[in-house]
Amino acid sequence: MTAHAGEPHGVRRATRADFGVLADVLARAFYDDPVTAWFYPDDARRLRHARRFFAIRLRQLARHGLIHTNAERTGAALWASPGRWRDDVRQSLMMLPMLPVLLPRIVRSTQAVREIERRHPVAPHYYLSVLGTEPARQGGGIGSALLAAALRICDATGTAAYLESSKESNVSFYARHGFAVTERIELPEAGPPLWLMWREPPSRHRTGHPADR
Ligand SMILES: CC(C)(COP(=O)(O)OP(=O)(O)OC[C@H]1O[C@@H](n2cnc3c(N)ncnc32)[C@H](O)[C@@H]1OP(=O)(O)O)[C@@H](O)C(=O)NCCC(=O)NCCS
């Protein structure tokens, strides 16, 4: 698939052929993430477990979402389309290979998912499930370019966007892209905090929504 002309960092929609590379990139990007470390405390196996998780997540959201990567495939943004943030039966079954990893932490993971899901907004929105850049390439604008590609779709369609940030240091990054913190929560069993962030689309008038013409 070709990049949109002039797109920073050659951002484009990812295809299935990209998923192997992107699962590796995301596993490395999230290696020191507090939530990833809480779910997979074993340092030695975390990379492998996280890679398996991201490979499944990529396949899930290929069906019900939007996946962007950059030309050199050093970053990825995984979004669920409006109304599709909650896994359906088929998506849940796709996660079955993760069961042996999650089983020792089944209480912790079930409670965490419940806490996160019960706060999920009801209003229609694109849901940013995963955003990550290869550690050695962070700070070079790839994450912003990936985010911007989907936010343009949000703006053009007058759709809100939502995410859970697992790092306080990312809150200002997302705020620069129009997100605002709605709540800070703490995951159960002394889990790490999460910052829930919502982004209203610009007013339909400013986005040139067809209904305003
Ligand atoms: C958050 C993340 C996706 C941002 O991607 P990126 O490619 O570094 O994004 P950008 O270069 O466009 O912008 C990052 C901004 O945060 C700062 N930043 C964040 N992490 C940084 C890092 N590790 N190195 C350098 N700068 C960093 C940059 O200075 C930049 O600030 P600016 O917007 O004022 O220029 C990336 O740092 C990452 O993958 N982090 C690990 C995984 C993660 O936390 N994902 C988000 C989960 S909520």
The string of pLDDT tens digits covering residues 153-198 is: 999 999 999 999 999 999 999 999 999 999 999 998 889 999 999 9
Q: What is the pLDDT of residues 113-143, one digit of tens each?
A: 999 999 999 999 999 999 999 999 999 999 9
Structure tokens at 74: 């050093």
Structure tokens at 67: 């996946």
| Domain assignment present for 51 | yes
The three-point CA angle 88-91-92 to 5° equals: 85
| Domain assignment present for 89 | yes
Query: If you take atom 18 of ligand 1, which residue's CA is the nearest one?
Result: 139
- pLDDT for 172 equals 98
| Domain assignment present for 62 | yes
Q: Say what percent of the chain tops pLDDT 90.
A: 74
Domain range for 166: 8-212
| Domain assignment present for 1 | no
| Domain assignment present for 186 | yes
Number of folded domains that form the chain: 1
**Rounded mean pLDDT of the chain?**
91
**In angstroms, rounded to a whole number, what is the distance separating the alpha carbons of residues 22 and 58?**
8
**Whether pLDDT at 74 is above 70:** yes
Ligand 1 midpoint to CA 210 (Å): 34
Residue 16's CB is within 10 A of a number of other CB atoms, namely 10
CATH number of the domain at 67, please.
3.40.630.30
| Domain assignment present for 78 | yes
| Domain assignment present for 3 | no
- pLDDT for 66 equals 98
Q: Say what percent of the chain tops pLDDT 70.
A: 93
Ligand 1 midpoint to CA 143 (Å): 6
Ligand 1 midpoint to CA 133 (Å): 8
Task: Specify the range with the lowest mean pLDDT, choosing from 31-40, 66-75, 76-85, 103-112.
Answer: 103-112
**In angstroms, rounded to a whole number, what is the distance separating the alpha carbons of residues 136 and 110?**
33
- pLDDT for 97 equals 87
The three-point CA angle 123-89-81 to 5° equals: 35
Angle between helices 19-29 and 43-64 (to 10 degrees): 130
Query: If you take atom 10 of ligand 1, which residue's CA is the nearest one?
Result: 141
- End-to-end Cα distance, the chain: 32
Contacts of 164 (CB under 8 A, 6+ apart): 116, 194, 195, 196, 197
- pLDDT for 204 equals 53
